[in-house]
Amino acid sequence: MKILITGNLGYVGPCVTRQLRVRYPEATLIGVDVGYFAHCLTRAPRLPEVLLDAQHFVDIRRFPASLLTGIDVVVHLAAVSNDPMGKAYEDATFNINYHASVELARQARAAGVRSFVFASSCSVYGFAEDGARTERSAVNPLTAYAKSKVFTEQALSELTTDAFRVSCLRFATACGMSDRLRLDLVLNDFVASAVSGGRITVLSDGTPWRPLINVKDMARAIEWAVERDTQSGGNFLVVNAGSDEWNYQVHELAAAVAQQVPGTVVSINHQAPPDKRSYRVDFSLFRALAPLHQPRVDLHETIQELRQGLAAMRFNNSDFRNSTYMRLRVLADLQSRGFLSEALEWMEKKVDDAVPQYPRLEATAHAI
């Protein structure tokens, strides 16, 4: 078995790599990523990618078909991965998340790949408060990010054949620890706020619905999709990946964090205009198709895991929204330094002007 994982150097990728390595100790696992966040490691005891057989630094907009030779399965995570980035880099979002993703699938099919697993998102439902959305419900993508996922799903449905199986997993919002932690995800933000400043500020009125999934459970769902046969879902499958118990309103998430981090004050903006993004999701199809790969980690455990992870990082930065834990901040910073273009292409000739300054090492008898 040879599995190629795109976008493996992000938040979800290290958990997927680990899950697939444990499940398939003998498989060839290959990572492909442009590396925007490769340097944003958080408390990893070693580089997560040592579990891979190869890592390629490639922009999927220029994907060399040769990398697909002999590949059985593609797990496609690479994307501009949230609404704020999609707003700031709209063209790049459509080019990477939609056009390049579809072209990658086309190349994969031509190369004889038999299974393509696509990380889609429940954000395709946009605003959906009148009952939980199933896969048969109308989509209502409100942002460039959500639209890019809908367009890609549609194009993938047309590429599917008996020999090229496609699984689109519409993931709930991720949470939990990773070797490349993000704090621009709602629960992660709340725990980081509570731990660092003793206060959670909910910017909305707290009523929006937001289904969540622990990042390790995302990896478990991907393992299932890699293995699934056509009897569970047919050649082309769109499935909501998460669990009904994890449909929370934002104020419930804040209250759960405050309960586990003593002394936390929650402030809710009751005057805020209604949040346009709010959706409840029905995960019964996933439950029926993947009974052995259901989410296992609950909210309490996830908050605990984040607290412990942040403590181990000695995290105390209450200004973390201006830090490298925020994906948009990292892209904006790389761009302002001239390393990345507006189109999110590496400026290849650009190197740091400044010579790195290291502390002077004094030679001493006991230095070694």
Ligand X SMILES: NC(=O)c1ccc[n+]([C@@H]2O[C@H](COP(=O)([O-])OP(=O)(O)OC[C@H]3O[C@@H](n4cnc5c(N)ncnc54)[C@H](O)[C@@H]3O)[C@@H](O)[C@H]2O)c1
Using alpha carbons, select from 367, 333, 337, 363 the residue that is nearest to residue 350. Answer: 337
Least Å distance, CB 257 to ligand X, is 17
Chain residues 4-43 in contact with ligand X, contact rule CB under 6 A: 7, 9-13, 33-37
The answer to the question of residue 171 lying near ligand X (CB under 6 A) is yes
Residues near 199 by beta carbon (within 8 Å), at least 6 away in sequence = 193, 264, 265, 266, 267
CB nearer to ligand X: pick between 10 and 25? 10
In single-letter form, the type of residue at position 201 comes to T
Q: Tell me how far apart the alpha carbons of residues 256 and 179 are, in angstroms, rounded to a whole number.
A: 24
Q: Tell me how far apart the alpha carbons of residues 349 and 283 are, in angstroms, rounded to a whole number.
A: 47
Q: Using an 8 Å Cβ cutoff, are 96 and 61 in contact?
A: yes
Q: Using an 8 Å Cβ cutoff, are 317 and 196 in contact?
A: yes
Binding mask 121-150 for ligand X (x = CB under 6 A): x-----------------------------
CB nearer to ligand X: pick between 185 and 257? 185
Least Å distance, CB 355 to ligand X, is 27
Q: Which position's Cβ is nearest ligand X?
A: 10
CB nearer to ligand X: pick between 60 and 290? 60
Chain residues 39-98 in contact with ligand X, contact rule CB under 6 A: 59-61, 77-81, 96
CB nearer to ligand X: pick between 154 and 199? 154
The answer to the question of residue 101 lying near ligand X (CB under 6 A) is no
Least Å distance, CB 8 to ligand X, is 7
In single-letter form, the type of residue at position 332 comes to A
Max Cα-Cα span within the chain: 73
Integer CA distances (angstroms), 317 to 197, 231, 266, 313, in order: 8, 49, 18, 11
Chain residues that interact with ligand X, rule: CB under 6 A: 7, 9-13, 33-37, 59-61, 77-81, 96, 119, 121, 171, 173-174, 182, 185, 327
